[in-house]
Structure 1
C-alpha cells in the first residue's frame, strides 16, 4: 500500500512540474514572433493540450515558448558541442 502511495505522489509531483514548466503564460506576443509551420497532426495535439490542460489561461504561443525554453535548457551542452564539432574554418 505504501509503494502505491509513493507512486501516486511521484505522479503528482511530475504533473505539478509539468504544469509549472509548460502550462504558464509568457510575455511573448504572437504577432511579434515569426511564423512557423508544423504538421497538422502536431497542431491538433498542441491545440488540444492548450485548450484542455491550459484551461484558457495560455495560448499556443505560450506553450510552444515554454516547451522550447525547457528543451534549450535541457540540451544546451549537447547543442553547443554539436555546433563546435560542425564549425568549419572560414579560410
Structure 2
C-alpha cells in the first residue's frame, strides 16, 4: 500500500476532529460579548472559513469561541506559569 493511502484514515480522523472542535455552534450570542477588532486579512480568512466550512451552521462568534477555548485548554498551564513569573511582590 502506498504511503499516501496509509495516511488517508489518519487525515480523515484529523478532519473529523477539526470539524467537531471548531465547526459547530457554541450557543454564544455575540451581542452579549464585547467588540474585538482584527486585521482585515484575518477577518476575510475567518469569514471564508465560517461561510464555506461551517456550511451556514455557525457564526464567526461560534468559530472564534471554539478556537480560543481550544487555545486556552492547550496553553492554559503555560499562560498561568508566565503570569505567575511576571507577578511582582506587593511589598
TM over 0.5: yes
1:86 equivalent to 2:89? Answer no
Q: Counterpart of 1:53?
A: 53
Gaps of 5+ in 1: none
1:20 is matched with which residue?
20
How many residue pairs end up in the alignment?
A: 91
CA positional deviation for 1:2? 5.4
What is residue 6 of structure 2 aligned with on the other side? 6
Correspondence for 2:69: 69
* Residues in 2 aligned to 1:25 and 1:71: alpha-carbon distance in whole angstroms: 17
Alignment RMSD (CA, Å): 0.9
Quote the offset at 1:90 in angstroms.
1.8
Task: Report the counterpart of residue 44 of structure 1 in structure 2.
Answer: 44
Structure 2: segments with no counterpart, 5+ residues: none
Q: C-alpha displacement at 1:27, in angstroms?
A: 1.4
How big is the shift at 1:6? 2.3
Which residue in the other structure is 2:34 paired with? Answer: 34
SS in structure 2 opposite 1:75?
Answer: helix
Q: Provide the C-alpha distance between the structure 1 equivalents of 2:58 and 2:65, rounded to a whole number of angstroms.
A: 11
